[in-house]
Amino acid sequence: MEKDKKLIILPEQSPLLSLNKSTIHLLVSEVCHSINEGNEDPVKALVIGKKLDELSKQYNESVRQLVSGKIKLQKGESHLAFDVEIKEEETGVKYDYSICNDSEWNTITEKIEPLLIQKKNREEFLKTLRKEFIDEDTGEVIQPPLRTGKLGYKLSLKK
């Protein structure tokens, strides 16, 4: 990209910087109204949403890494820029209990893991049931699981 050209997403007076929750809600409402009135192509609107999702995901992943540590904040301090509050905090905290050498935790884990595997295997079997099933060993009447879901669209952005 040429040095003197600015990115479309980062111009000095980007309309994106003036957006807040209210204006975003209003914008989305206007688009939905336009689709309902037949003034906007619903497929086009759906595709734009998918592309905005992908742009946002990649943009945030890359830019967050580049910016990490460049905004100097003290503990508990925040920075307000373009109607967005920025705070530094710990995210994605995980604990590894296996290194604690706690016999009670180890015993519980040893009991739970095989049961979780058994449960998963049983659920896989139950998913295959399409009608009532009678267990010949116990005489128990087993119903198929309740399957819920909704029909939607899967969008795959091509390379």
pLDDT tens-digit readout, 113-156: 999 999 999 999 999 999 999 999 999 999 999 999 999 888 88
- 56 inside domain: yes
Lowest mean pLDDT, pick from 62-71, 101-110, 129-138: 62-71
- 86 inside domain: no
Tell me the H-state helices in 12-159: 21-36, 42-67, 103-127
9: number of Cβ within 10 Å:
9
- 26 inside domain: yes
- 44 inside domain: yes
- 62 inside domain: yes
Which pLDDT score is estimated for 6?
57
- 98 inside domain: no
Is the whole model's pTM more than 0.75, yes or no?
Answer: no
**What is d(CA 88, CA 41) in angstroms, rounded to the nearest whole number?**
41
Sort strands 133-134 and 84-87 into parallel, antiparallel or unpaired.
unpaired
- 31 inside domain: yes
Number of domains in the chain: 2
User: Residue 9: is its pLDDT beyond 70?
Assistant: no
Q: Which residues span the domain enclosing 136? A: 103-142
- 57 inside domain: yes
